[in-house]
Amino acid sequence: MAETIGFIGLGAMGAGMCRNVARKHGGPVLAFDMNPAALAAITEATPARSLAEIAETADVVMLSLPGGKQVTAVCETLAAHGRAGMVVIDLSTTGVDEARSVQASLAPHGIAFLDAPVARARAAAEAGTLSIMVGASAALFARVEPWLRYMGTDVARCGEVGCGQVVKLVNNMLLFEHVAALAEMMVVAERAGVTNATLLDVLAVSSADSFALRNHGMKAMLPRSFPERAFPSTYAMKDIGHAIALAEAMGVEPRLPRVAAAYYREAIAAGIGEAYFPAILTLIEKEDGR
């Protein structure tokens, strides 16, 4: 009989991931979220009444939560109500040390833990085409990879527990830096007489082409579309903080991350911190050209 999977956290990314798991898995899938509306929207899975119910029932538990604090709290409940042999797959983005601490706290209970943060946008979560970066032993990765492929087309083992978070934080930090650099240069070019549309079209076939340009530049920054309930600057600052801490722990001075962080921090101070993070473009547009 196929394993029972529990999915905890049905937000912007978790909802799509849970739907894909429920559609593709051959066994029962339970879902839980503190928000009753989010739970009711997932009709493909069976709603659970509590975290404890999932802990007592599921063989595999997947987490898609805002950060390390929430992951730690949920895993305390899983440890209290779960059983030996359970596997916990954390799809959230947390600090590296947080992932390793959670693994250490679950191990005495016989519960396996791996970090598997995801990349790409909400549309990829809905389509099941995420990139998933995994920190796990080779044996555990081989066991969980089929479940991860319910949600992602690109699934890579990056090393032992915590290494998935290392790669995800590096990925996000580079993206945030690129979006900040792109925002600056879009304003420069426009003030110098080149329209944003022309600039991005030319850059897309030149050496400055990138995922950030084609997605964040063309789809958000060009039309000035920065909706809330996407990935906001408040979330970006969480990941930037983890990336800076990781760099410092490794003996590297994170100069560029600190510069990028200033933009996202300013967006929060300006009251647009909950808008899609490329909205930092609007801050630069308001500058006087200094």
Known active-site residue 69: no
Instruction: Determine the Cα–Cα distance for residues 275 and 279; give it in Å rounded to an integer.
Output: 7
Contact 55, 31 (CB under 8 A): no
The single residue of 24, 69, 168, 286 carrying the catalytic annotation is 168
Where b means 16+ CB within 10 Å and e means fewer, 177-210 reads bbbbbbbeebbebeeeeeebeebbeebeeeeeeb
249-279 core/surface letters (b: 16 or more CB in 10 A; e: else): eeeeebeebeebbebbbebeeeebbbbbbbb
Q: Are strands 118-119 and 130-135 parallel, antiparallel or unpaired?
A: antiparallel
Q: How far is CA 245 from the centre of its chain?
A: 18
Q: Which residues are catalytic?
A: 168
